[in-house]
Amino acid sequence: MIRQSLSPRPDWRHKVEALGLIWHDGPERPYWDESACYRFTRGQIDRIEAATAELYRLFLAAGEAVVSEPRLLARFGIPPVFHDPIREAWEAEPPALNFGRFDLGFDGRDAPRLFEFNCDTPTALLEAAVVQWAWKEECFPALDQFNSLHEALVARWSELAPDLPATLHVAHVADQAGEDAITAAYLRDTAEGAGIATVPILMDAIGWHHDDHCFVDEGDMRIEALFKLYPWEWLVHEEFAPHLLDNLERGDLVWIEPIWKMLWSNKAILPVLWDLFPGHPNLLPASFTVPAGDAVAKPLLSREGANVSIRRAGAIIAETAGEYGEEGYVYQSLYRLPEMAPGCFPVLGSWVVDGAPVGMGIREDGLITSNTARFVPHVIDG
């Protein structure tokens, strides 16, 4: 694994915007950062792909353990009234993209290690699936890339299409940066590429029809299938949570992703994994209590690296601010990321669609990967 410095294409902004990545600049450096790339050997990619498939297997076992043990599920900070809907969705296996991004630490030599699984509302999707592939085709046409993400998404939508109603609503929040809007628009493109009709909608425009007991859009059209780029842990605490519970009990709306994704996207799954598979080469020790050694403290439900702290030799050496933590913390043993350039610590985002490894994106940041991280493309060389 080598980090190679490059000269960005003079018109790179125009080119990535043409592909839909309008959110490409950052406060200090561009978010889309082609001033460097990562070069991997085929053997290293094979190890990342194998680790991704193995981690998915472990998550299946962990999910089964959680839904089977009420006391374990209680550690996740999920309102108890939603425990049964989670169990029912887990057992029923309703339609799902079943996609997500495993965030991994990797130094090119030892086994990749899991940090967490972003599988309810994963972002950095368009840049991983489309933008870095187009960059590779222009800049390194003779080389390969670990990337069949776009094709896998379209294929999965095609598999789901017979089980979906005529129209799929795709919802997101009106985020100022546009990241959620970009991701939702891209997922609409992949669904429409599979022949599914889609309708965009903002989350706060979704209404509830009291007489028909259903969610509706601005035109009072019944929402029968909804992809929502909005986390379940927020939904279950909204004012309309009782309507949500009513809707889940009726089972007349296809939620993508299903509510059982709350289990895998919650950091409480990390101690469960370690208890089930202690010493596994792709896991880091994790617990609900502060360990004796160096560790990273993570809120159960934090996003984009918020409220994370790194503790080394009893002292906090790095931390981020935020509004999370009230729901509790988990503690994961510290993995020392390689510093590939001054202040540049890469985290690999290895993607799955329907549980199968399909591609990778890399984000660089300081010791804690946050919403200021930069996306750096990669190639396979040899």
Statement: residue 308 has pLDDT above 80? yes
Give 94-127 pLDDT, tens digit per residue. 999 999 999 999 999 999 999 999 999 998 999 9
Q: Can you read off the two tokens belonging to residue 232? A: 């379940």
Residue type, 211: D
Q: Which residue has the higher pLDDT, 166 or 313?
A: 166
pTM of the model: 0.94
> Domain map of the chain by residue range?
2-266+337-380, 282-333
pLDDT at 53: 98
CA angle 117, 310, 100 (to 5 degrees): 10
What pLDDT does 192 receive? 98
Question: How far is Cα 220 from Cα 227, in angstroms, rounded to an integer?
Answer: 18
Distances (CA, A) of 153 to 59, 99, 116, 357: 21, 8, 21, 12
**Residue-level pLDDT at 305:** 65
Can you give the pLDDT at residue 326? 74
The rounded mean pLDDT for the chain is 93
pLDDT of residue 325: 65
pLDDT in tens, 152-162: 999 999 999 99
The string of pLDDT tens digits covering residues 40-86 is: 999 999 999 999 999 999 999 999 999 999 999 999 999 999 999 99
**DSSP string of 233-268, one letter each residue:** HHHTTSTTHHHHHHHHHHT-SEEES-TTHHHHHSTT
Q: What amino acid occupies position 380? A: I
